[in-house]
Amino acid sequence: MSPELSAVLYRLVNASNFAVLPAVLVLALRWKRLSLPQRWFGRLLLAIAVIQLSAVALIVFFQQSNMPLYHAYIALEGPGLLLLYRYRLGNTPAGRFVPWVAGSYVVVVMVNVWWQQGVQELPSLPRSLEALLLCGLALYYMRFVFLERKVMYLAQSFWFWLSAALLLYFSANLMLFLFTNTIPEAETDLFTGIWAIHAVLNFILYLIYSVALLCRDRESYSSF
């Protein structure tokens, strides 16, 4: 890889740390018009933004490893998104099953931190599991919406865009999550290349999250 290309990819990776900010801006502008599940999603997004910016600050200002924050990040993101779907699935069997899955996932993350990969290692196993769970949930939602035949315009639906974002991001990232730890650390260019792919997917994720926040939520149950 040429040094110029490597520098461009490195900048792309760095820029992706701030990809969440446009979505946060949309959240702030539309807060009053958002539904209850959208607001919970917004709070989750804010927490993610805080963790991501703290991770950047740790490296830039304190030259410390930000890997422990990554564990906290996945322990928050996966269960948060899983629990959010209870607003859409209501009291269906899947809706009742979701909290158990979320709880079990937190246990898996903790076990991984203390007894498996450790706090300084990239949590590839729980991250891959999270990708599988969220892809499964997104696919389940699409099947659910098919059978339900209640939503007239999917392209204007918050839940559809949220599911599309999860499906696209986590399916495309699955290989990266699974095999990143197997690459020798000396392969700097390879690492930069892989994280550049991840950075592009990050931009796609937060772009679709922004679209989801711009849509109205007509599908949610008001409580569960």
Spatial distance between the Cα atoms of 23 and 88, rounded to a whole number of angstroms: 21
Is residue 222 a contact residue for another protein (CB under 8 A)? no
Binder among 172, 203, 214, 221 for another protein (CB under 8 A): 172
The one segment of 55-63, 75-83, 96-104, 146-154 that binds another protein by CB under 8 A: 146-154
Q: Which residues pair with 157 in a beta bridge?
A: 216
Minimum Å distance from CB 25 to another protein? 24
Spatial distance between the Cα atoms of 177 and 13, rounded to a whole number of angstroms: 16
Q: At what angle do helices 67-84 and 93-115 cross, to 10 degrees?
A: 170
Residue closer to another protein (CB basis): 27 or 166: 166
Is residue 3 a contact residue for another protein (CB under 8 A)? no
Asked if 195 contacts 164 with a C-beta cutoff of 8 angstroms, the reply is no
Is residue 136 a contact residue for another protein (CB under 8 A)? no
Asked if 128 contacts 178 with a C-beta cutoff of 8 angstroms, the reply is yes
Asked if 133 contacts 98 with a C-beta cutoff of 8 angstroms, the reply is no
Residue closer to another protein (CB basis): 24 or 180: 180
Spatial distance between the Cα atoms of 160 and 215, rounded to a whole number of angstroms: 10
- Judged by phi (left if over 0) then psi (alpha if -120 to 50, else beta), residue 52 lies in alpha
Binder among 201, 205, 213, 215 for another protein (CB under 8 A): 201
Minimum Å distance from CB 186 to another protein? 9
Residue closer to another protein (CB basis): 43 or 187: 187
Is residue 171 a contact residue for another protein (CB under 8 A)? yes
Query: Which residues contact another protein by CB under 8 A?
Result: 1, 142, 145-146, 149, 151-155, 160, 164, 167-168, 171-176, 179, 183, 187, 189-190, 193-194, 197, 201, 204
